Amino acid sequence: MSRVRVAVIFGGVSNEHDISLISATHVIKNIPKDKFEVICIGITKKGRWLFFPGDVSMLKDGTWDEYPDCTPCILSPDPIHKGFFKLLEDGSVANLKVDCIFPVLHGKNGEDGTIQGLFTLSGIPYVGCDVISSANCMDKDIAHIIFEHAGIKTADWYTINDYELSHLDEIAEKIVKKLTFPMFVKPSSCGSSIGISKVDNIEDLKDGIKYAFTHDSKVIVESGIIGREVECAVMGNAKPFPSTIGEIQPVDGFYDFEGKYQSSSCGLFIPARISDEDIKRIQKVAIKAYLAIGCKGLSRVDCFLCENGDIYLNEINTLPGFTSISMYPKLMENYGMTQSEILEKLINLAFERADVSYE
């Protein structure tokens, strides 16, 4: 029986491009090669799609796109082609068919529903959330609205669009009246804590808003929640299951970019240092939020557990990091799955959602 051909897509036009390369390295190394043939497709920072036949080690150091045998390619939106077209030097094209797509892309254009729309048009099963759930989870403002409607607690928030920036002083006054310090200022549609500021006064608030707008055209400001930062890995389609709960203990006040990708910048505890009852309560919230916003395949659900027992949903990450220190694979390992089993299960879920079988 021939192996299933899985296209792992990495890179992308995003400020999380380099993190994608690290995650993709981990994924490619751990996909069980006896069952799956991996096809590597990289997207450069300028948006070029390249078929990459080189060694996976070139991803981590960022030199992959310099490999001489890289070939320009495109994903066909026509389902009849079932994959990519390699654009050869003599002007001809070669159809590179695949059975499944595994996007290892973080942030804009890779995690926000944009590329998921192309996958949907192609008719090829793909790992992870669909167009609408990806888009809604990526936009923190829209996610707040959906979770509030579903009866899930989130921090109080205020949304600012770029066309309002000329009235920043007036807007800052409104925010101070509505929210409480400390506040967190966030680009509405960025991941990996990029562009986020923790602010304690109105002047820092205005600076944080300006900084966030360098990363996005919409910004949200949230009241700070005092509590344990906890995370739950969720996997599945119609009947998802949760992992145990992991706990983050940031060294410098909050779980920023360095904390997520430099193990010395925070403490990770699996399981979290909380009661079994609280673990079950957070798992319940995670599943409720996952289903409410329509996630499929996988997501990492991030929450705060307050001293009074209240649970606040922070965000859902639809394509969480897959680096060696990332919380999602670590939580699923604690659940009892090896790294290879995690990836195989995610590919199986992609086929399940597409209602096809590779066996």
Closest CA relative to residue 192, chosen from 274, 267, 257: 257
Residue 42, H or E segment: strand 36-43
Tell me what pLDDT residue 240 has.
Answer: 98
Tell me what pLDDT residue 250 has.
Answer: 78
State pLDDT tens for residues 281-314. 999 999 999 999 999 999 999 999 999 999 999 9
Tell me what pLDDT residue 358 has.
Answer: 59
CB 331 within 8 Å of CB 243: yes
Low-confidence ranges of the chain (pLDDT < 70): 1, 191-192, 251-265, 357-359
Coil/strand/helix, residue 58: helix
CB 9 within 8 Å of CB 102: yes
6-22 burial, b at 16+ Cβ within 10 Å, e below that, comes to bbbbbbbbbbbbbbbbb
Tell me what pLDDT residue 190 has.
Answer: 78
Tell me what pLDDT residue 2 has.
Answer: 84
Characterize the bridge pairing of strands 4-11 and 36-43.
parallel
The length of the chain is 359
Tell me what pLDDT residue 323 has.
Answer: 87
State pLDDT tens for residues 96-109. 999 999 999 998 89
